[in-house]
Amino acid sequence: MRLSQFLRAGRSPVALPGWVADLIETVEEACACGGYVSDHDRMRLAIELSAENVRRGTGGPFGSVIVDLDTGDILGAGVNLVVPSCDPTAHGEVSAIRVGAALVDSFSFSAAGLRAGIYTSAEPCGMCCTASLWSGVRRVVYAATTEDVEAIGFDEGLKPGDWQAAMQRRGIEVAGPLLRKEAVAVLSSYRDSGQVIYNG
């Protein structure tokens, strides 16, 4: 089942805004025609999720997608829903991981026999770094940096300074920042909109 169908069928464990399924369906159609195969394409999708979340006022300025690195299929998508859901753990990465795990019906993408990567509009915070590790992804790609996120007032939590090396020691490739300027523009638009900077 494609992710957009899964979301529309109401099977997602995360109550994502309805527009997410529409966006993912458009991307899935492009994927079927050979699009969205590069890191840049996938990161643009994560950033587009974050930007649309800000434009529509449905959550914070963060978006993530999980992709099967072998087939290019989109396995999960998420946006930051902390404020609207009253859930401090509802970060973009966690939302995408929860959706993806439900889609593949496994606690781990690796355990399901998949080589998955997570593309996230900002460097994972302490919680999301560990959640990504436990999710069984083999690759983490990020856009904006921790410094960029903290510059607009967010607290990125507890994370070791050598997190990238620690991930790589566990067989998880880390890449970034990729399309940092575009992601920072979304962060700035969120700050300028006056929406909630939680945990700042």
Instruction: Kindly name the residue from 25, 29, 52, 93 that is annotated as catalytic.
Output: 93
Q: Token pair for residue 47?
A: 């950033």
> What sign does the dihedral 112-117-121-122 (CA atoms) show?
positive
Phi, psi of 187 (to 5 degrees): -60, -45
Q: Is 93 a catalytic residue?
A: yes
Q: Which residue has the tokens 């945990």?
A: 199
3 state DSSP class of 107: coil
What DSSP assignment string belongs to 21-49?
A: HHHHHHHHHHHHTT-S-SHHHHHHHHHHH
Q: Order of strands, edge to edge, in the sheet holding 116-122?
A: 74-79, 63-68, 116-122, 139-144, 173-175
76-93: buried (b, 16+ CB within 10 Å) or exposed (e) per residue? bbbbbbbbbeeeeebbbb
Q: What are the residue numbers of the active site?
A: 93
